[in-house]
Chain A
Amino acid sequence: MPHDGHDHDHATTFQPDIKEPSEEWEFLEIALRELLIDKGVVSAREIADTVEAWENKTPEAGAQIIAKAWTDADFKSRLLANGNSTVAELGIVFEGTQLVVVENTADLHHMVVCTLCSCYPRPILGMPPLWYKSKSYRARTVREPRAVLAEFGTDIPTSTEVRVLDSTADIRYLVIPRRPDGTDGMSVEALAALVTRDSMIGTATALQPDGGRTAA
């Protein structure tokens, strides 16, 4: 998104439609930010630009990657072999951690959790949803994955191995969901629309072209 050119000097004020801070941690955010700006550690503009940059990182980037992998076998091979360098082909910068891409099949269904914190492939999926960071998801997924999947409305047959990936260290995982049946000949754009955020975490399957879930 091009920069809108409005000035960011109001970064320490509040726009009228935004709720006033009322809690101590919200005051702490203001205090730290103003001190950092006063001391020249960061500028208000840098903070505002970073906020804006994160708003532009959405799961659509991930959906583009998956749709391309579904339609281009060589790309998928490269993606599975080296996530970081392969997403760079699409202009996505993924640095600092190793991106590992795993593929869901009829025999193996991956789902990702971080039991120790909230590791998430943010350059590809944006900011993690609240549930991904929640204590219930982090606690339960490694022990009762099928109960968790059921809460997401996802039914994986017991003949398929569910493999929970606990993202404990320097690895960030992206799941390639199964390509839905009946999508032969669809454009990459149309396929990307079937790839939801949750299907790339593994708590859901991709959408059916008619809008439903794929049969697992």
Chain B
Amino acid sequence: MAGDSKTTTQAVERAITDLGGLKGGPIDRHEHEPTLTERRIDAMMMLMRAKPRAFWGSDENRRTIESLTPEFYEGSGYYERWVTAMRSLMIEKGILDSGDIDAKLAEVRARFPSNAGADGDKS
């Protein structure tokens, strides 16, 4: 987003999610069937937000996604951002404990030793 000083100033002021009017390449129109992982992230998000739990609303979710680093926002997929935001919100709302999540993550990685730490395929 380099450019003249005006553009640079605007880039600083803009939220990372606020894309209207920026330049972009051709639109990738290929159809993608959401994977099971993506569907589960979606389902968990809906369950956390819906009654009776209503742990947070869409604006809290958006605020959390906006607070991701620009590098992460640029380099991540949609559901990667969602699951990352969900982790933050679960800790913020006291639903899960940060240490418990880290411990569980280590255990999960160990279940897939051939994959963990490998540079996974970007789909």
Contacts and interface: CB of A to CB of B under 8 A. Distances in A.
Contact between chain A and chain B defined by CB under 8 Å = yes
Interface of A: 18-36, 39, 41-42, 46-47, 50-51, 54-55, 113, 115-118, 127, 129-131, 133-140, 142-143, 148, 151-152, 166
B100 A32 contact: no
Contacts of A34: 104, 108
Contacts of A140: 22-24, 27
B114 to A, nearest CB: 8
Interface of B: 15, 17-32, 34-37, 39-44, 46-47, 53, 62, 65, 76-80, 83-84, 86-87, 90, 95-96, 100-101, 104-105, 107-109, 112, 115-116, 118, 120-121
A130 B32 contact: yes
Contacts of A30: 108
A20 B118 CA distance: 13
B18 A116 contact: yes
A130 B42 contact: no
Given A21-B115, A32-B83, A54-B42, A135 B108 contact: no
Contacts, number: 152
A127 B34 contact: yes
A31 B105 contact: yes
Given A117-B17, A134-B28, A151-B27, 15 more contacts: A28-B84, A33-B40, A33-B44, A35-B100, A35-B101, A41-B53, A51-B36, A54-B46, A115-B21, A130-B78, A134-B27, A137-B24, A138-B20, A139-B20, A143-B21
Contacts of B84: 25, 28
A136 B39 contact: no
Contacts of A143: 20-21
Interface residues of chain A: helix, strand, loop or mixed (majority): helix
A127 B104 CA distance: 29
Contacts of A130: 28, 30-32, 78
Contacts of B26: 136, 151
Contacts of A142: 20-21
Given A55-B39, A142-B20, A136 B105 contact: no
Given A21-B37, A136-B26, A136-B28, A32 B101 contact: yes
Given A28-B105, A31-B108, A115 B83 contact: no
